[in-house]
Amino acid sequence: MKKIILSITTITTLSFSDGAVLPEELITKIVPKVTQHKSIFDRIHTKGDLRLRYELIERDDKTDKYRERYRVRYSINVDITDNIIIQSAISSGKDNPTSGNVSFKDDENIADYFIDVLKLDILNLKYKFDNSWINIGKSKHNIYRPIKTQLIWDNDIRLEGVNYGYKDDLKRYRVGINKLHRLENEANSNDDIYIYLAQYVQTMKLENSKLNFGGGFYYYDGVKGNTTPYGKGALGNSMDINGLYLNDYTIIEAFSELKLPNVFGKPFKIAGTIAYNAEADDNNLAYDISMQLGDTKNINDWKVGYTYRDVEKDAVFAAHNDSDFIAGGTDGKGHIITAKYKFAKNIDLGGHFQWATLNEEKSTTDLESDYHRVQLDVILKF
């Protein structure tokens, strides 16, 4: 305090003597900057979105399905201090951890669409320091996925536990211990399932591109001999005659991703990801190859993407990977084309087109079945 008072006195004296004015740079050096305290309104951050979707599903082994759906999400984050943040979010899609979608019904009360279907999606305490963070609670998984692949992790999966992450210009890594949260209305399980995870990503800055490569380790403790966690069935994983998992899941992941700033005037990415379950003797490999051209940062921007994916029966934990591909889960292969166009500042238009094959055990006819899926989206952000 004495230094500040002395500095201010010195500047005032020099400024008024002979009309002299000190340079701004010198003032900045002499007088320490005073941090302005944020008001409560500055510390509260909110955002949300509403997605309207038309969906068509055609498959050889079942009746075709046409439906209109929606998803609504809203988050409120509060900065307790510059380092401590309380994160919270709600979403539609109650009792569905891998999707927020809800189908419209003609005979349903309108209040049921936006109240009874809501779930607590995130409730987390985050502590930030230097280039690191610690999450305690239910939060986004924050696992790096090249071109946002859902080979192992669905976009909507939330993890509950203690997780640590680090990121700088050249590397990022994260570790965590989480417990798989079962739904209140499902049958009792034989035992709890815990997820121990670790991932490392290295970045190389090349002359006109950037290369990300790395790997992950995801160990599910307590799966073998247990029931399915969310009342959605096996979704492709091997089960015994009593409906219990035949295998545990220790998933080893490796990936690489090349980013180019200018291909036909647009940013371009290409990536490959592979997953291997060390606990299964066979049907334990999954991979996808993806590419994307363009981005949607500004109005009239667009991007298109392509993925080929093959997921064997026990390569990944089917309750946690892509809920849209091959009817959700594992045991199939096929092509995905995605597109998005930024129509206005807060409006995006999107499409998802899938041509896939369900393997024999995944199909209800015990024969390979064609599986086609089309999704047309309008996303409103607020």
Q: Could you report the per-residue pLDDT of 4-50, keeping only the tens digit for each? A: 344 434 434 434 344 444 444 444 444 444 434 677 788 999 999 99
In this structure, the answer to whether residues 57 and 6 fall within a common structural domain is no
Look at residue 100 and tell me if it is in a domain. no
pLDDT at 40: 79
In this structure, the answer to whether residues 183 and 231 fall within a common structural domain is yes
Look at residue 121 and tell me if it is in a domain. no
pLDDT at 95: 86
In this structure, the answer to whether residues 30 and 152 fall within a common structural domain is no
pTM, two decimal places? 0.86
Look at residue 280 and tell me if it is in a domain. yes
pLDDT at 115: 75
In this structure, the answer to whether residues 319 and 196 fall within a common structural domain is yes
CB 161 within 8 A of CB 139: no
Q: How many domains does the chain have?
A: 2
Tokens of 88: 């919270």
Mean pLDDT, the chain, rounded, equals: 89
What totals of helices (H) and strands (E) does the chain contain, helices first?
4, 17
Look at residue 164 and tell me if it is in a domain. yes
- Where in the sequence is the domain holding 7, given as residue range(s)? 1-34
In this structure, the answer to whether residues 26 and 134 fall within a common structural domain is no
pLDDT at 183: 65
Rounded Cα gap, residues 80 and 261, in angstroms: 38
In this structure, the answer to whether residues 233 and 292 fall within a common structural domain is yes
Look at residue 226 and tell me if it is in a domain. yes
Alpha carbon 59 to chain centroid distance? 28
CB 100 within 8 A of CB 93: yes
In this structure, the answer to whether residues 225 and 341 fall within a common structural domain is yes
Look at residue 115 and tell me if it is in a domain. no
pLDDT at 19: 44
CATH number for 238: 2.40.160
> Higher model confidence: residue 231 or residue 69?
69
Look at residue 88 and tell me if it is in a domain. no
pLDDT at 39: 79
In this structure, the answer to whether residues 133 and 6 fall within a common structural domain is no
CB 268 within 8 A of CB 292: yes
Look at residue 277 and tell me if it is in a domain. yes
Tokens of 204: 């190389």
Q: Is 168 a residue whose pLDDT tops 60?
A: yes
Rounded Cα gap, residues 224 and 241, in angstroms: 13
55-98, pLDDT tens digit by residue?
999 999 999 999 999 999 999 999 999 999 999 999 999 889 99
Rounded Cα gap, residues 357 and 332, in angstroms: 6
In this structure, the answer to whether residues 11 and 57 fall within a common structural domain is no
97-153, pLDDT tens digit by residue?
999 999 988 776 666 667 788 999 999 999 999 999 999 999 999 999 999 999 999
Q: Is 184 a residue whose pLDDT tops 80?
A: no
In this structure, the answer to whether residues 356 and 297 fall within a common structural domain is yes
In this structure, the answer to whether residues 227 and 364 fall within a common structural domain is yes
CB 292 within 8 A of CB 302: no
In this structure, the answer to whether residues 59 and 5 fall within a common structural domain is no
